Structure formats: C-alpha cells, structure tokens
Amino acid sequence: MSLEKKEGPGTGTVRRLSCSACFDALWFCYSPVHQMQQYYRLGTLDNCSPKWSAFIDCLTLKTKSASHVQEILGTREKTKPHIWTLRTPEEASSYWREIFGHLDDVE
C-alpha cells in the first residue's frame, strides 16, 4: 500500500492510494519461485494470507475519503513500533561497556 503523489489542478499535490504494491506482493507469493523457496527453507508452502489481508485492507481503504485514509494511515504509522531501540547517550555508553567492555582490557 503506497501513496502516489500527483500534480492536481490548482492546489498542487494530490495524494492517491495505490494497491499495486500489495497486488504485486500477492502475485509473487503464488509464484513457483517463492513457493519453492518457502518449501526449501521452512518445509511448507506459503498460504499467502498476510498478503491477502494487506491487499483486501488496501482495497477497503480505497472506498473511504482521502482525508479519512490520511487519518487512518497516520494512526497506523504512529502505533507501529520503531525498528531501532532508541537510547540516550548515557544509556548507549553503559550498554556498550556492558557488551564490549572486555575489549578494553589489556592482557
């Protein structure tokens, strides 16, 4: 699910929701290449249910107004956990010493 930016008449940029990335991911999920990779790595075939969910969710969002979509996507972005653990410099320093402090020891 992505937002495409297009030049609109008068006001400038208009954002439009695009489901093509979700559809492409779903299409690839059913490809023999992906299914064989999954079978080789995990011993089972992929049922692609998360891809279906994302695609259906995107299509559902397309039926809503643009302002409502912006609000929903903004809320989702805020509730999504960050991939990094953010630390203060003091926390980072103590964590570094805890993990790698033994490297400073002279033998």
Over 60: is that where the pLDDT of 32 sits? yes
Span 51-56, average pLDDT: 95
Q: Is residue 80 part of a domain?
A: yes
Q: Which residue has the higher pLDDT, 75 or 1?
A: 75
Listed in sequence order, the residues at least 6 apart from 34 whose beta carbon sits closer than 8 Å to its beta carbon are: 28, 46
Q: Is residue 60 part of a domain?
A: yes
Question: Looking at residue 28, what is its pLDDT?
Answer: 97
Q: How far is CA 57 from CA 33, 60, 65, 83, in A?
A: 25, 5, 14, 23
Q: Closest Cα to residue 62, out of 97, 10, 24, 22?
A: 22
Q: Which residue has the higher pLDDT, 16 or 73?
A: 73
Q: Is residue 3 part of a domain?
A: no
Domain that holds residue 52: 19-100
Q: Is residue 75 part of a domain?
A: yes
Q: Is residue 7 part of a domain?
A: no
When divided into structural domains, the chain yields a total of 1
Q: Is residue 88 part of a domain?
A: yes
Cβ(24)–Cβ(58) under 8 Å? Answer: no
Q: Is residue 68 part of a domain?
A: yes
